[in-house]
Amino acid sequence: MLFSKVIGHATLKAKLIGNIREGRVAHAQLFMGPRGGGNLPMALAYAQYLLCERQGEADSCGECPSCLQTVKLEHPDLHLTFPIFLAEKQKYCEPFVSDWRTCVLDQPYLDADRWRDHLESDNKQLRMGVDIAQEIQRKLSLKSFRGGYKVMLIWLPELMDTAAANKLLKVLEEPEPNTVFLLVSTDAEQLLTTILSRAQLTKVPALRPSDLADALSDRFPGLALEEALAIALRSEGDLLDAVDMADQGEEELFVFFRDWLRSCYKREVGVVSEFAEGFQKLGRERQKSLIRYGLYMIRQCALQWQEVPELVRVLGQEQEFVQNFSKLLNDANAEGIRRELETAHVHIERNANPKILFTDLSYRMMGLLRMTAPA
């Protein structure tokens, strides 16, 4: 991937390229950042630049044989490691490399959910076991095909079992010349601290709203600039969320959420069960989007209620909703509403029955919305 294809992060890109040009290439590097911010694309751009045969001042050449292979994730010195659904006869990454390649080429901002959906193992845990750590060692024992760097990209190292992580640690402690590890992680807290301490940290933060809005406008020509910016703000710099919202129409989410809350407030039991039917039909990704959108709106309402309206980030008809709904929030219910939505999100990820879940959530909302502040 070219650096120019990675959204935003201009300063970081310049720094990474500068380091390589000055010969400062740490042998273990950790690209850390939240979902949808671009840690994986950044690491891929870094790998391509490292392997490029005609490095330019600001980017890989994009045309040399190495670039042509790296861009397809097929460079023989670019090794790919990622979590899979482990089973008796399923211990190594290698059989899944072409699947992973397809996923990343389709969406370089890939997250674990999408990868899991692709593998169709949504009830199972993605992991890397000790066999995968052995696979890493084996791959690195090969000579470099092109005589340059060997790059080992490890996506989501936080999903390694302890045994695997310890094995990886040994490899990191005895670096082979010209071998570069690129660890791409969204959750440093789950990583062994010993691994953390071995790797040079590159933080890839959430995208800036203006950068993300530009990227959305490029990708969705029908999207008004104001709308693109609204989505960028709401997604909080997460490209995957932003694309989902733009794709499926944020309007729909807003109307659904507003009308559902309204009927919860009015305790219209019949209408609420129609919403539960509707929720079920949305599909899992969309259900999660709706809940995340709801959490975002509740946060905006809380800011309004706490009288910091200058921090409220909404546009158009959402403003009216925030004005009105924030009046229902108080010390007795604000925290509870947020917690119920977060719990619902976790349960959807764990494949709870969406209709039952949403009905239950609705009844809880009915109670919470009618709560009044303690005197």
Residues that bind Zn ion (CB under 5 A): 52, 60-61, 64, 67
DSSP string for residues in 132-191: HHHHHHHHHTSPPSSSS-EEEEEE-GGGB-HHHHHHHHHHHHSPPTTEEEEEEES-GGGS
Residue with smaller CB distance to Zn ion, 63 or 122: 63
Least distance in Å: CB of 51 to Zn ion?
A: 8
Q: Which are the contacts of 82, defined by CB distance < 8 A and separation ≥ 6? A: 93, 96, 100, 115, 128, 154, 155, 156
Q: Is 208 helix (H, G, I), strand (E, B) or coil?
A: coil
Least distance in Å: CB of 200 to Zn ion?
A: 24
Give 155's strand partners.
Answer: 184
Extract the tokens encoding 82.
Answer: 């990622």
DSSP string for residues in 298-354: HHHHHHHHTT-GGG----THHHHHHHHHGGG--TTTHHHHHHHHHHHHHHHHTT--H
Least distance in Å: CB of 44 to Zn ion?
A: 14
Residue with smaller CB distance to Zn ion, 67 or 242: 67
Residue with smaller CB distance to Zn ion, 62 or 336: 62
Least distance in Å: CB of 58 to Zn ion?
A: 13
Least distance in Å: CB of 148 to Zn ion?
A: 11
Residue with smaller CB distance to Zn ion, 43 or 136: 43
Residue with smaller CB distance to Zn ion, 6 or 223: 6
